């Protein structure tokens, strides 16, 4: 296997700098993950490998973003398979630290707060989730800074390498929040959003899909069907008629709808006027969340006309 695994920040910096120097690299990509990788993560890695000379993926199940200790324990850990997938995609280096390595003083006292944007939609049913996710993303973006390794003795011979970080469009609220954090707090990194990968039947890939029974999986397809309906109407510049799409989801007995709305892609504020009787114009994002049996699923669809 060509991909190299490191577990400490020091190794990450020295190995990252070595790779940049060896490849005379002018760009570094970072792919933050929590492991349990699937083809959606493979698409992130592939985009990073296409666009950068050196690619680092991180695998860290971040306790700070789990409300429930049981959920944290149950989160699948599949390091060997994850390494094989990242190796197949051409990732150079994997940083898989322990909890103590990331939080050496225990839980951090000072955290990133996600503000209003983190309180709605997913944030409403998972209080504190986005503060925990942004806090670890901030740390991972700092750990992955190519300059950190170069300062420790590496070098490309030129200016600072470009630095890009890759996040899935599937977690649209997380992506919007990471973009805002990077802009609001001046992180020297370009955030790249990668389109959602779907199974042939339309279900968005997620590490949670493995917990669906065959019947629940079949029932879950109504989420992507309803989103596609809105996408088609937006394309055809028809009224979105969100209510009829909501009714379609609610007609599926195994699905308990949490929210389904059309929002501004950056602010995630509802685009109420655009969703009902008037023909859809411009850009929007349809967001949906539902419990399918015991499994909470989220999905979304960019809309444009």
Q: Which residues are catalytic?
A: 41
**Degrees, nearest 5: CA angle 99-123-166:** 60
Report the site for ligand PAF in 57-96 (rule: CB under 6 A): 62, 65
CB-side neighbour CA atoms (13 Å) of 284: 29
How would you list the strands of the sheet with 295-304, edge to edge? 255-263, 283-292, 295-304
Q: Which of residues 20, 136, 192, 245 is near ligand PAF by CB under 6 A?
A: 136
Q: Which is nearer to ligand PAF, 165 or 271 (CB)?
A: 165
Distance, CA of 34 to CA of 118 (rounded, Å): 20
Report the site for ligand PAF in 94-133 (rule: CB under 6 A): 133
Q: Which of residues 27, 28, 33, 169 is near ligand PAF by CB under 6 A?
A: 33
In 3D space, the residue among 70, 3, 67, 65 whose CA is nearest the CA of residue 34 turns out to be: 65
Q: Which stretch binds ligand PAF (CB under 6 A): 32-40, 47-55, 90-98, 211-219?
A: 32-40
**What is the distance, to the nearest Å, from the Cα of residue 82 to the centroid of all Cα atoms in its chain?**
16
Does 137 bind ligand PAF (CB under 6 A)? Our answer is yes
Q: How many helices (H) and strands (E) does the chain have?
A: 11, 9
Residue 258 main-chain phi, psi, to 5 deg: -95, -65
Smallest separation, CB 298 to ligand PAF (Å): 11
Report the site for ligand PAF in 223-262 (rule: CB under 6 A): none
Q: Which is nearer to ligand PAF, 169 or 174 (CB)?
A: 174
Q: Region of 179 please: left (phi>0), alpha (psi -120 to 50) or beta.
A: alpha
Does 34 bind ligand PAF (CB under 6 A)? Our answer is yes
Smallest separation, CB 31 to ligand PAF (Å): 9
Q: Which of 107-111's residues contact partners 24+ apart within 8 Å by CB, and which partners?
A: 107/63, 107/64, 108/64, 108/135, 111/64, 111/135
Does 182 bind ligand PAF (CB under 6 A)? Our answer is no
Q: Which is nearer to ligand PAF, 137 or 145 (CB)?
A: 137
Beta carbons of 301 and 286 less than 8 angstroms apart: yes
Q: Which of residues 32, 118, 144, 284 is near ligand PAF by CB under 6 A?
A: 32
Interface size with ligand PAF, residues (CB under 6 A):
10
Smallest separation, CB 62 to ligand PAF (Å): 4
Does 171 bind ligand PAF (CB under 6 A)? Our answer is yes
Smallest separation, CB 281 to ligand PAF (Å): 32
Smallest separation, CB 17 to ligand PAF (Å): 23
Distance, CA of 271 to CA of 273 (rounded, Å): 6
Residues that bind ligand PAF in the complex, under the rule CB under 6 A: 32-34, 62, 65, 133, 136-137, 171, 174
């Amino acid at each position: 296997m060509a991909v190299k695994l490191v577990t400490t920040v020091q190794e990450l910096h020295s190995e990252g700098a070595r790779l940049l120097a060896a490849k005379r690299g002018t760009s570094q990509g970072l792919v933050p993950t929590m492991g349990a990788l699937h083809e959606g993560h493979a698409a992130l890695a592939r985009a990073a490998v296409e666009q950068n000379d050196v690619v680092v993926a991180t695998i860290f199940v971040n306790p700070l973003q789990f409300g429930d200790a049981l959920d944290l324990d149950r989160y699948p850990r599949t390091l060997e398979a994850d390494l094989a997938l990242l190796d197949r995609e051409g990732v150079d280096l994997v940083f898989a630290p322990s909890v103590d390595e990331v939080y050496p003083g225990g839980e951090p006292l000072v955290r990133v707060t996600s503000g209003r944007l983190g309180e709605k939609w997913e944030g409403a049913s998972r209080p504190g989730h986005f503060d925990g996710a942004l806090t670890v993303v901030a740390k991972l973006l700092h750990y992955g800074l190519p300059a950190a390794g170069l300062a420790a003795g590496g070098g490309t011979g030129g200016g600072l390498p470009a630095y890009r970080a890759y996040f899935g469009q599937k977690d649209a609220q997380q992506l919007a929040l990471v973009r805002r954090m990077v802009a609001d707090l001046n992180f020297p990194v370009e955030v790249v959003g990668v389109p959602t990968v779907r199974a042939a039947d339309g279900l968005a890939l997620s590490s949670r899909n493995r917990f669906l029974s065959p019947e629940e999986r079949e029932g879950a397809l109504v989420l992507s069907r309803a989103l596609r309906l809105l996408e088609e109407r937006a394309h055809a510049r028809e009224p979105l008629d969100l209510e009829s799409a909501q009714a379609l989801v609610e007609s599926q007995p195994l699905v308990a709808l949490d929210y389904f709305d059309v929002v501004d892609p950056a602010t995630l504020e509802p685009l109420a006027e655009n969703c009902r009787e008037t023909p859809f114009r411009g850009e929007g994002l349809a967001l949906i969340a539902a419990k399918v049996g015991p499994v909470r699923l989220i999905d979304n669809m960019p809309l444009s006309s």
